[in-house]
Amino acid sequence: MKKIYLFLLALLSLSLQAATVKIGYTKNDGDYFWVYDGFGQPPTDMKFGAAIRITPEMYANYLGATIKGIRVGWSNPDYSSACTIFMRSELSGKDNILSGSGTLKYISSSTPSMGQYTTINFDNPEGLTLTEDLGTFYVGYYAETVKQGTVAIATSYPSGQAGSAYLWGDIEQNYDADGNEIWEDDSNKATLCVDLIVEGTFTNKVQPLSIITYPTITEGAPADGLMAVKNCGTNAVSKLTFEYTCGEEAKTQTISLGSTLEPGAQKRITVPVWALGDGVHNIRISKVGSYKNGIKDALEYHTTMVPSDVAKQYKRTSLVEFFQSENVYYVPRYYDEYFLPGYQMYAENLNIIGQHLDDQWMLGDDEATRLMLDMSDNDSSAVIIPAVSVDRTANIPLIAIGIESAAPYHSVILSEFADYLYETHLERPTFATLSAETSIEGEVLTVTVNGNIAEGVLAPGRKLHLTACLVEDNVYTDSQEQDELGKGEYYHKNLQRVCFTHYWGDPVPVENGDFTMTFTTDLYPDEWNYENMRVVAFLNRTPEDGNRWCRDIINSTSCPMLSGSESGISAVTNETNGAQTPVFDLQGRRINDAAAEGIYIVGGKKIIRK
């Protein structure tokens, strides 16, 4: 019995042995990162200082650990540099809490990367206990010499994290009148690959960092979500239990991870996400394996639960938005060669409009630019023009396999990825329907949009917005930048001639049930080709509904704009739900299938099917 007891005790001590954990902004050891390129400094050897700010929120999960040293990214395998390291309460160059010295060098690894990390310990062998009393402090280093392309910065470049600071050039001269070092806060340029290294025993601690999911989810059927998690513990993790809440509704689900989450590792995992109502939901990791999670953090996500009977009744027609600019030379090739073939495979279930920016760098003040900035939370570096958005919603499968970044925009959409892109969106449930019709009197176009929002889906007080625009195909220009040819001729597709509403749409007058909204515009027969024009209308949410993942398109519709109202025939679309509206031919006979070309009567009005 004594031997068994000692054996179990040994196992317990083994499972609770101390391990090192990094605290900072870098991710896993093998993560790709950029290198420092001087930021305007001449490409010569120079002294260099770098530091990051460590806040109590960053180390709250590691209280009681021992501070051991720092970890620094280094990107040049050809040479190394002597360095001194520090921990201090402020960047003044005075009163170090801890200090040390060592050599910054490139350490080879089997993991492909643009650089590697060097760990340097502080001189105090006992370290320092991490307690709340430390408050905010800085850790960093001084390198004796730094060459171009040597110091590593994290993959979040150029979007930095507050607290990344540089000190470069002749460090001895960078002092103020009181003898304090003058550091430059370059958080807006980059995030430094500097981490604080601590040692301790922390079991069953997994922190949720972010969550991306779909803004509409069918009742009783979870959707995929992509959650960034960090193992803040010292034990490997293979199973997690999630708790979901919305108001008084709650649910839990346990999943096994596809691969083990090692201590200190941070990665994205695919998780089930449940809709329990309409609006703000919370998700947290309640258990790590069979044990209570030591971190209580929760994340918010916004979604709408669509009852299964509603999801079956309403059919989604997704909206594709193509963002382009005259001064992007690869717009013609991108659209015609890369984007169009895949789009045409699903065109009958899609509507498309063009969003034309004044400038590819998003420096203009046009509505398309403002829309893109709103959708990227004002981070222009998150978008490259041209870009495509489908229903203004992230595509979880493409993000999960690394094809797309975590944004509601797509870059190059090749035809081989069309099924991942369009089918994912078309399968999402919706709860509203739209139809549009046009009539012309003189040189005035009237557009009437009818719709229906299912009852009991949206929470009281929440309203959708309707956006409507007039689009023309094959609009000639001789000023489109061409690939290696300068400006040249091009025929723009899906060009917006008129936007009848605010670019975020106008509020729908009802929260649920039927509605009608009417718009008018003058026509310009000398400038517009009516045969190439159509109306596109769509229901959407706005920034009032939450972050960029909540501004999705609920449904869309389109109809051609017909010239010559003297015929008494208007253009009308089919409604975008599954309900059957009676259709008759001109002899008054009911038609089961109005797919063929011809003139039909729908809802007492004549329509032309082309």
Are the beta carbons of 317 and 348 closer than 8 angstroms?
Answer: no
**Are 446 and 355 part of one and the same domain?**
no
pLDDT tens, 351-395?
999 999 998 888 888 999 999 888 887 777 777 889 999 999 988
The number of angstroms, rounded, from the C-alpha of 563 to the middle of its chain's C-alpha atoms is 42
| Whole-number pLDDT of residue 580 | 46
Rounded to whole angstroms, how far apart are CA atoms 316 and 218?
A: 13
pLDDT band at 187 (very low <50, low <70, confident <90, very high): low
**Are 228 and 172 part of one and the same domain?**
no
**Are 173 and 24 part of one and the same domain?**
yes
Only one residue has tokens 């083990």, namely 260
Residue type, 6: L
Which two tokens mark 551?
């501004």
Which two tokens mark 148?
């171009």
Q: What is the CATH number of the domain that holds 153?
A: 2.60.120
Domain C-terminal end among 182, 200, 218: 200
Beta bridge partners of 128: 67
Rounded to whole angstroms, how far apart are CA atoms 146 and 76?
A: 10
Of the candidates 22, 406, 54, the residue with the CA atom closest to the CA atom of residue 228? 406
Q: Where are the alpha helices (DSSP H) in 528-606?
A: none
Only one residue has tokens 């939450």, namely 546
Q: What is the CATH number of the domain that holds 378?
A: 3.40.30
**Are 33 and 141 part of one and the same domain?**
yes
Mapped onto helix, strand or coil, the DSSP state of residue 240 is strand
Are the beta carbons of 194 and 83 closer than 8 angstroms?
Answer: no
Question: In 544-596, where do the E strands start and end?
Answer: 553-560, 571-572, 583-584, 590-591
Q: Does residue 371 sit within a domain?
A: yes
**Are 215 and 284 part of one and the same domain?**
yes
| Whole-number pLDDT of residue 519 | 98
**Are 367 and 228 part of one and the same domain?**
no
| Whole-number pLDDT of residue 52 | 86
Are the beta carbons of 477 and 327 closer than 8 angstroms?
Answer: no
pLDDT of residue 2 exceeding 50, the answer is: no
Q: Is the peptide bond before 386 cis (omega within 30 degrees of 0)?
A: yes
Q: Does residue 279 sit within a domain?
A: yes
> Average of pLDDT values for 67-71?
94
Is the dihedral angle over the CA atoms 84, 89, 90, 92 positive or is it negative? negative
Between 326 and 485, residue with greater pLDDT: 326
Only one residue has tokens 């229901």, namely 539
Query: How many domains, in total, are found in the chain?
Result: 4
Q: Does residue 3 sit within a domain?
A: no
pTM score: 0.75
Q: Does residue 161 sit within a domain?
A: yes
pLDDT of residue 593 exceeding 70, the answer is: no
pLDDT band at 28 (very low <50, low <70, confident <90, very high): low
Rounded to whole angstroms, how far apart are CA atoms 427 and 429?
A: 6
| Whole-number pLDDT of residue 126 | 84
| Whole-number pLDDT of residue 591 | 64
pLDDT of residue 40 exceeding 60, the answer is: no
Secondary structure of 95-119 as H, E, C letters: CEEEEEEEEECCCCCCCCCCCEEEE
pLDDT band at 166 (very low <50, low <70, confident <90, very high): low
| Whole-number pLDDT of residue 8 | 38
pLDDT band at 151 (very low <50, low <70, confident <90, very high): low
| Whole-number pLDDT of residue 564 | 43
Q: What is the CATH number of the domain that holds 439?
A: 2.60.40.10
Q: Does residue 597 sit within a domain?
A: no
**Are 154 and 222 part of one and the same domain?**
no
**Are 465 and 495 part of one and the same domain?**
yes
Q: Does residue 589 sit within a domain?
A: no
**Are 127 and 34 part of one and the same domain?**
yes
Are the beta carbons of 287 and 241 closer than 8 angstroms?
Answer: yes
pLDDT tens, 292-341?
999 999 999 999 999 999 999 999 999 999 999 999 988 998 999 999 99
**Are 452 and 420 part of one and the same domain?**
no
pLDDT of residue 279 exceeding 70, the answer is: yes
**Are 213 and 75 part of one and the same domain?**
no
pLDDT tens, 427-468?
999 999 999 999 999 999 999 999 999 999 999 999 999 999
Altogether, the residues listed in the chain come to a count of 610
Q: Does residue 590 sit within a domain?
A: no
Question: What phi, psi does 144 have (nearest 5°)?
Answer: -65, -45
Phi-psi region of 106 (alpha: psi -120 to 50; beta: other; left: phi over 0): beta
| Whole-number pLDDT of residue 537 | 98
> Average of pLDDT values for 581-596?
56
Q: Is the peptide bond before 543 cis (omega within 30 degrees of 0)?
A: no
**Are 54 and 184 part of one and the same domain?**
yes
Q: How many CB atoms lie within 10 A of CB 158?
A: 12
> Residue 196, class by beta-carbon neighbours within 10 Å (0-12 exposed, 13-18 middle, 19+ buried)?
buried
Instruction: Give the structural domain span for 379.
Output: 313-426
- Using a CB cutoff of 8 Å and minimum separation of 24, what contacts does 370-375 make? 370/503, 371/503, 371/504, 372/323, 372/409, 374/504, 374/543, 374/548, 374/551, 375/407, 375/408, 375/409, 375/548, 375/551
| Whole-number pLDDT of residue 234 | 85
pLDDT band at 182 (very low <50, low <70, confident <90, very high): confident
> Average of pLDDT values for 96-117?
73
Residue type, 10: A
Of the candidates 215, 213, 216, 239, the residue with the CA atom closest to the CA atom of residue 227? 213
Secondary structure of 204-233 as H, E, C letters: CCEEEEEEECCCEEECCCCEEEEEEEEECC
Which two tokens mark 409?
């925009």
Q: Does residue 90 sit within a domain?
A: yes
pLDDT of residue 101 exceeding 60, the answer is: yes
Residue type, 291: Y
| Whole-number pLDDT of residue 96 | 92
Mapped onto helix, strand or coil, the DSSP state of residue 538 is strand
| Whole-number pLDDT of residue 576 | 58
pLDDT of residue 188 exceeding 70, the answer is: no
